[in-house]
Amino acid sequence: MAGLLLSSSDSGRRANGYAILHLNLFRKEPLVAAIGDIVRFESVGMRYRLGVEVLHDISFSLAAGSFHFLTGPSGAGKSSLMRLMYLAHRPSCGSISVFGRDVSTVPRVELAALRRRIGVVFQDFRLLDHLTALDNVALPLRIAGAKEGQIRDHVAELLRWVGLEEQSDAKPTTLSGGEQQRVAIARAVISRPQILLADEPTGNVDGEIAIRLMYLLEELNKIGTTVVVATHNEALLERFSHPRIRIENGALIEHGHETAFDPDAATI
């Protein structure tokens, strides 16, 4: 595990211009506590209230530490699948396990604790407009009752990582779309989630910013975070070679796996 952390911190700055992830926040303990499946769906169906099923018979698993794209046309069910993964919605049939726990048997209070281990970045960012960038990022730690000194250090560190240390006192409405998105990522990451889900994160930012965002997510993945990016952005899918989970009309039609030492993977 130490190797995982060290390997991403040995050469100062990366070719993509981002500082290597030196976050003290992540140094306390390794993120990948167990090797195996961190998410598992078995024959999962989902409906909204009494409506028709929008996801049918979905079975797949995500290895801890993997990075997947979730793709498919608009209306296919990507956001619905994300909602199931961040435990905001219950399946209408089948079973979902997260961190090795069958979600249907987890008591409500524990569900909240599981949710805190999952970071989410929404397409519309969902920042609180009356709070500064710093306070938006700090919010999850404040809610969790962390000490102010620790909050300040961690928030400053994350804002530096996403390149927004100068804007820490700015309100979201004065920030550009790309800057707001980076605040949203810092907020999603501050609780050190083991899973990071991003739903159409490039929908509201231009191409260059989308690529920078992907580099940030890859940095997080390198230190062990399991990442899923829902997108139908073809340019992004072509440029980054992560395996794809593809859904169409609520059905899973492709599930690519990441193999750790596949020599062909780099050339595809």
Ligand X SMILES: Nc1ncnc2c1ncn2[C@@H]1O[C@H](COP(=O)(O)OP(=O)(O)O)[C@@H](O)[C@H]1O
Q: How far is CA 214 from the centre of its chain?
A: 11
Residue 36 binding result from ligand X, Mg ion, none, given CB thresholds of 5 to 8 Å by partner type? none
In sequence order, what are the residues at sequence separation of 6 or more whose Cβ sits closer than 8 angstroms to the Cβ of residue 257?
63, 66, 243
Q: Could you tell me the smallest distance in angstroms from the CB atom of residue 106 to Mg ion?
A: 26
Q: Is there a contact between 51 and 62 (Cβ–Cβ < 8 Å)?
A: no
- The reply to whether 74 sits near ligand X by the rule CB under 6 A is yes
Q: Could you tell me the smallest distance in angstroms from the CB atom of residue 68 to ligand X?
A: 15
Give CA–CA dist 210/217, Å, rounded. Answer: 11
Give CA–CA dist 100/110, Å, rounded. Answer: 13
Residues in the chain: 268
- The reply to whether 80 sits near ligand X by the rule CB under 6 A is yes
Q: Could you tell me the smallest distance in angstroms from the CB atom of residue 41 to ligand X?
A: 15
Q: Could you tell me the smallest distance in angstroms from the CB atom of residue 179 to ligand X?
A: 25
Segment 23 to 52, residues that bind ligand X, using CB under 6 A: 48, 51
Cβ proximity to ligand X, 48 vs 166, nearer residue: 48
Taken in order 80, 119, 102, 1, the sign of the CA dihedral is positive
Beta strand pairing status for 93-98 and 101-102? antiparallel
Binding part of the chain for Mg ion, among 51-59, 76-84, 100-108, 242-250 by CB under 5 A, reads 76-84
Binding part of the chain for Mg ion, among 20-28, 30-38, 73-81, 89-97 by CB under 5 A, reads 73-81
Interface residue with ligand X among 65, 72, 119, 201 (CB under 6 A) is: 72
Binding part of the chain for ligand X, among 5-13, 35-43, 73-81, 118-126 by CB under 6 A, reads 73-81
Instruction: Give the Å distances, CA to CA, from 76 to 66, 70, 80, 88, 250.
Output: 23, 11, 9, 18, 5
Q: Which helix (H) or strand (E) holds 196?
A: strand 195-199
Cβ proximity to ligand X, 48 vs 113, nearer residue: 48
Cβ proximity to ligand X, 79 vs 241, nearer residue: 79
Interface residue with ligand X among 26, 39, 58, 78 (CB under 6 A) is: 78
DSSP 134-158: HHHHHHHHHHTT--HHHHHHHHHHH
Interface residue with Mg ion among 9, 61, 79, 95 (CB under 5 A) is: 79
Cβ proximity to ligand X, 54 vs 175, nearer residue: 54
Give CA–CA dist 65/224, Å, rounded. Answer: 5
Cβ proximity to ligand X, 54 vs 197, nearer residue: 54
- Give me the residues that bind ligand X (CB under 6 A), please: 48, 51, 54, 72, 74-80
- Give me the residues that bind Mg ion (CB under 5 A), please: 78-79
